[in-house]
Structure 1
Amino acid sequence: MQDHLLADLRRRLQEEEAQRLSPLACLSRAAVRRRPDPLAEQGHRLPFAVDADRVLHSLAYTRYIDKTQVFSLVDNDQISHRVLHVQLVSKIARGLGRLLRLNEDLIEAIALAHDLGHPPFGHDGEKFLDRKCREHGISPFLHNLQSVHFLERLERGGRGLNLSLQVLDGVLTHDGELHTVRLTPQRDKDFAALDAEMVAKRQDPSMELTPMTLEGCLVRVADTIAYVGRDLEDAILLGLVSRDMLPEVVRRVLGESNGTIVYRLVEDLTANSLEQDHISFSPPVAQALGRLKEFNLVNIYTNPSIKTEHPKISAAFDLLFDTYLQDLRRERRGSPVYRDFLDRMDENYKIETSPPEVVRDFLAGMTDDFFLKRHAELVSPLRLPDKLNVPHIVKN
């Protein structure tokens, strides 16, 4: 009786979705997965809502809490971390999706998952880890590829989350750093196309990929909306820049504060994308946004004053990567790469994954704090007893 009620509820939700959403939206009934998945195909939740829940409850999502957004090793609790950025992307994208009558469940799933592959210390950590990957003959490290890898291969001990193609595609193609004036979805994709794009992106990291849904296009633009003004506020808080340094066109068209910038970008994007098969800004707003991104690049992201500790972080990546690689090759079973990672993975992963790829996956999943603790152990190792002296607990 209960199963019948839930099945009827699911049908009604699908019918309401088809009536409420734009004809250009991706309906939940269009979700496809690599493997049959009864848990995602039955019950009261629609498929993309299932995906969002799986991402939210993943171990990789839990680790967002202590991953750098832009500013590393900054003693200021008000500076953004990765987890806040992801929440802002989800909030902004879902709000836009409601205005454009797109699928908010799909939007949320992509937004929550889009940065899971970021290693510790943000984009700078990505560069350091990429260098080590290339040194050891494995493919370049790109956080969007690693995000898909986490979702498909590393979660659940190597079994993955079996998310829908539409979510994985949105994660792979999010590239929020690119300045794109207009995005039109490339809808004719399947899992073979996803796999081919993964291979092509590894071979040419500069290759631009296009999402298969308007929802994916929207999340990609919302990523930019979420970080461009927030990073400016963080930089002002740290004294790196001031509002009067902003280019005149930025202040005139977008404003000088994150709140105003977000509002004007959302307003303009909505007006230029409503009932259209693309996501776009107007030319004046796109131009001002491009100038703001250029300003941030020069004055924030590449500012030498926030890079003073980066030689040490780079050296720490060298030490951890090379140490754990040697631990794998010499089968040092007490190493953190076994204890905290490889021992939890299934046999297929162990057989199919080379030692440098294992180390890449282990380091990419670390939080900043976990990374620093493992580095401290190697620089000044703690001597642990063979057997921990745990007090005996007497049950009443």
Structure 2
Amino acid sequence: MPKYNSLSKDLQQRILEDRKKHKENPYAFRDENIIRRDMEHDKANLWRPAFVRDVEKILHIPYYNRYFDKTQVFSLYKNDDISRRGLHIQLVSRIARNIGRVLNLNLDLIEAIALGHDLGHTPFGHAGEDFLSKLYFEHTGRYFNHNVHSVRVLDKIIKRNMSLQVLDGILCHNGELEQKEYRPMSLDNFDDFDKKAEACYIDKTNIGHLVPSTLEGCVVRVSDIIAYLGKDRQDAERIKMLKGTEVFSDEGIGSSNAEIINNLSVSIMEHSYGKEYLQMDEVAYNALKLGKVENNEIIYGTDKVRSDYSEKIEPMMKEIYEKLLYDLEKKDSSSIIYRHHINYVNSNNFYTAKDFKYEETKPNDIVVDYIASMTDDYFIDLHEYLFPNSKYKVQYKGYFEHK
């Protein structure tokens, strides 16, 4: 029998009384404190407030469209009922705004961070991220991480004068690290932010030390975990990956997607209202940790999920990487990377960064930017175009194939 927890009656009454008095949350980030690299542009007005501008910048960035054909967990399935990254970011946004509304936080800031947090994700999910990081490190001694690259997309590739608060929330969204408490760490300038981002390229362990500077960023960070924990189980069931022998524990938050979203959200709201940090109770925290371990053992770490990635996608990515790098170093303007990527980036910066010459970027960075921007289908089509005789071929599982 599904169980859906509720906020305590005392807290519900307190929230209603606070709303009647129009009581503000002193720990919410205020629009007037927004920081941009260029403070003379993108000034708020009545119809486009501060962080609404960032939301709309993200929605209209050309790479936003590509969310919808990027793997969340399961690749190479023709199945419209399993999640792509485009749905994931919407779920994160919805969950985070629900929590933020109860806590009386800045909902526009939350939405902007949530919608932008995975813009830098590669095709083929975290497997693709690992393969690209490996190639990048072999060539440069630097690491690729999708959260850092999401910042690069919005701040370096398609320049949109995004706010420090949104970029920081995106950088620090790491949904692979769960915590019982999320306490913001102050950040008030781009110099410190740039150092924090650069440190992640040099030492991959620095990812684990990132902390959002706002409560809103903390809400998105924990909502990222809430959004995928149960949904990935739901997707695994829909592709008939689970045979009925695998059992997910119910340790206080339920085992279904709906229960997990509700019960974790309620725990955070109950234990965070009026505080300068986020917190969940011990039961919810332990259940969250256990749920992630079980997902890894039953879903993410299985041969069914990993085999096609390591046997086919990884060598295909290496072939593409080396070919594109070779073309760049030769300055072959007829190459795909010029025609489909460099020219594309320059054309999308024409009004916002007219003097920006993307082709002067380091070749390995351009190659990484291009591969990370690809959707799954684009990657496969590009590989076939560049290497028609390659021994590496992938085959999608069709709608009408059954086991």
Does TM, scored on the shorter chain, surpass 0.5? yes
C-alpha deviation, 1:39, in angstroms? 3.5
8 Å CA contact retained: 1:119, 1:365? yes
Deviations 1:36-89 (A, max 9, x none): 343333452211111011101111211101100001112322110000000000
Give the equivalent residue in structure 2 for 1:225.
226
8 Å CA contact retained: 2:342, 2:359? no
8 Å CA contact retained: 2:169, 2:213? yes
Percent same amino acid at aligned positions? Answer: 38
Residue 153 in structure 1 maps to residue 156 in structure 2: yes
What is the identity, as a one-letter code, of the residue corresponding to 1:295? E
Give the equivalent residue in structure 1 for 2:10.
none
Instruction: Check 1:284–1:244 CA distance in 2 against 1; reply closer, same or farther (3 A cut).
Output: farther
Given the alignment, which residue of 134, 138, 146 partners 1:135? 138
Give the equivalent residue in structure 2 for 1:357.
365
Deviations 1:142-183 (A, max 9, x none): 00110000000111xxxx111111000000000011021111
Deviates more, 1:32-41 or 1:341-350: 341-350
Residue 54 in structure 1 maps to residue 46 in structure 2: no
C-alpha deviation, 1:202, in angstroms? 1.7
**TM-score using structure 2 length:** 0.85
**TM-score using structure 1 length:** 0.87
Separation in structure 2 between the aligned mates of residue 154 and residue 26 of structure 1, nearest angstrom: 27
8 Å CA contact retained: 1:144, 1:175? yes
Separation in structure 2 between the aligned mates of residue 26 and residue 283 of structure 1, nearest angstrom: 27
Residue 87 in structure 1 maps to residue 90 in structure 2: yes
SS at match of 1:298: helix
Give the equivalent residue in structure 2 for 1:234.
235
Deviates more, 1:41-50 or 1:63-72: 41-50
Give the equivalent residue in structure 2 for 1:72.
75
Matches within 5 A, 1:122-201: 122-155=125-158, 160-201=159-200
Instruction: Check 1:57–1:138 CA distance in 2 against 1; reply closer, same or farther (3 A cut).
Output: farther
Instruction: Check 1:51–1:350 CA distance in 2 against 1; reply closer, same or farther (3 A cut).
Output: closer
What is the identity, as a one-letter code, of the residue corresponding to 1:186? M
Give the equivalent residue in structure 2 for 1:292.
291
C-alpha deviation, 1:273, in angstroms? 0.8
Residue 107 in structure 1 maps to residue 115 in structure 2: no
Instruction: Check 1:334–1:229 CA distance in 2 against 1; reply closer, same or farther (3 A cut).
Output: same
8 Å CA contact retained: 1:236, 1:243? no
Separation in structure 1 between the aligned mates of residue 23 and residue 381 of structure 2, nearest angstrom: 50
Matches within 5 A, 1:202-217: 202-207=201-206, 208-217=209-218
What is the identity, as a one-letter code, of the residue corresponding to 1:143? H
8 Å CA contact retained: 1:130, 1:140? yes
Give the equivalent residue in structure 1 for 2:343.
343
RMSD of Structure 2 on Structure 1 (CA):
1.9
C-alpha deviation, 1:203, in angstroms? 2.0
8 Å CA contact retained: 2:181, 2:280? yes
Residue 369 in structure 1 maps to residue 370 in structure 2: no
What is the identity, as a one-letter code, of the residue corresponding to 2:99? L
Matches within 5 A, 1:206-355: 206-207=205-206, 208-241=209-242, 245-247=246-248, 250-310=249-309, 311-346=311-346, 348-350=356-358, 352-355=360-363
SS at match of 1:375: helix
Separation in structure 1 between the aligned mates of residue 24 and residue 210 of structure 2, nearest angstrom: 26
Separation in structure 2 between the aligned mates of residue 344 and residue 322 of structure 1, nearest angstrom: 21
Separation in structure 2 between the aligned mates of residue 365 and residue 37 of structure 1, nearest angstrom: 30
